Amino acid sequence: MSGATLHTQHQPLLRSDSAETDATLPRPNPTRFSLPRWLPSLSRYLSPLIALLTWQAACSFGLLSTRLVASPLQIAHTGWSLLQDGSLMTNLEVSLLRAASGLSLALLAGTILALISGLSKLGEDIVDAPLQILRTLPVLALVPLFILWFGIGEAPKILLVALGSTFPVYLNLHKGIRSIDPKLLEMARTLRLSRLQTIRDVILPGALPDLLVGIRFAVGISWLMLVVAEQVNADNGIGHMMMDAQDFLRTDIIFVGLAVYGLFGLVSDQFVRFLEHRALIWQPAQRQGGRT
């Protein structure tokens, strides 16, 4: 609340400072109280911080049962000791590897399928309809089937991640390929580019912005799939660590797992944004660093 008011008070100050000097406008009084420039951005985090402090206080004064909700300090402490004894890192590595393998498969499958259906009418007839039908199916409902088919090893987990994240890759890339400016394709013909050159130099780069949007969705979905896959049948991974903790009523460990998943999501999203920024450098909006 107080963060919001600080923010709005600060805005006009900034504006009159940066505006071209106008003689009729009163100059801002230098002695007047003004916040340093970095403070408004910090004030965004004020309310989560207050929530955290309240949570800690509620646990410390016994208002919340620590059996149901671990205190933030306890969670931090557990997180640290899990890091120290190496169990967090081991589980993290396993989970990361599953997510990365699944995503790579999804990227490969989604790209190939989108190329087949995006580049020819026949391909679209063959590929698009089954994928659209499959897409409406809740992929998580396939878990029992996947266990029956692929056992309880790595395969069902990776495939579940791959299946879930193939759809956003396929759908977005397909749309990207279909919406390429036909004038550029005509140009490619007058320059007598081969089919392969046209795909490499015109079609794929033209569809890249859409593909990257698809990848962002795919990354999000891959975490979702991973959580379920690791909680249903697994003997390692972050999800397994959390299920294990449930048996021993260790809410602190469960919260550490949640925090790790949250961090995963945040970092991977930032990573894809970074990729976007690098790969789409030719777009004016990217060079100004504005696009969100």
Partner 1 sequence: MNVVTPLRPHTADHDVPAVSIRGLSRRFGDGPRILDRLDLDIREGEFVALLGRSGSGKSTLLRTLAGLDPVTEGSVSRPKDVSVVFQESRLLPWKRVWKNIVLGQPDATREHALRVLEEVGLSHRLDAWPLTLSGGESQRAALARALVREPLFLMLDEPFAALDALTRLRMQTLVSDLWQRHRSAVLLVTHDVDEALLLADRAVVLEEGRISLDLPISLPRPRRHADPQFERLRGTLLRALGVHDN
* Site residues (vs partner 1, CB under 8 A): 183-184, 186-193, 197, 201-202, 205-206, 208, 281-284
Nearest approach in angstroms of CB 183 to partner 1 is: 6
Residue type, position 169, single letter:
V
Buried-exposed string 253-270: b where 16+ CB fall within 10 A, e elsewhere: bbbbbeebbeebeeebee
Nearer to partner 1, 68 or 281 (CB): 281
Nearest approach in angstroms of CB 216 to partner 1 is: 19
- Write out the DSSP string of 91-145: HHHHHHHHHHHHHHHHHHHHHHHHHHHHH-HHHHHHHHHHHHHHHHS-GGGGHHH
Nearer to partner 1, 133 or 281 (CB): 281
- Write out the DSSP string of 75-88: HHHHHHHHHHTSHH
Nearer to partner 1, 118 or 237 (CB): 118
Nearer to partner 1, 177 or 221 (CB): 177
Nearest approach in angstroms of CB 284 to partner 1 is: 6
Nearer to partner 1, 131 or 185 (CB): 185
Listed residue (172, 180, 174, 176) closest to 215, CA to CA: 172
Question: On the CB side of 31, how many CA atoms lie within 13 Å of its CA?
Answer: 0
Nearer to partner 1, 191 or 249 (CB): 191
Structure-block tokens of residue 12? 């006009």
Nearest approach in angstroms of CB 186 to partner 1 is: 6
**What is the Cα gyration radius of the chain?**
25
Nearest approach in angstroms of CB 37 to partner 1 is: 30
Nearest approach in angstroms of CB 170 to partner 1 is: 22
Q: How far apart are CA 174 and CA 110, in angstroms?
A: 9
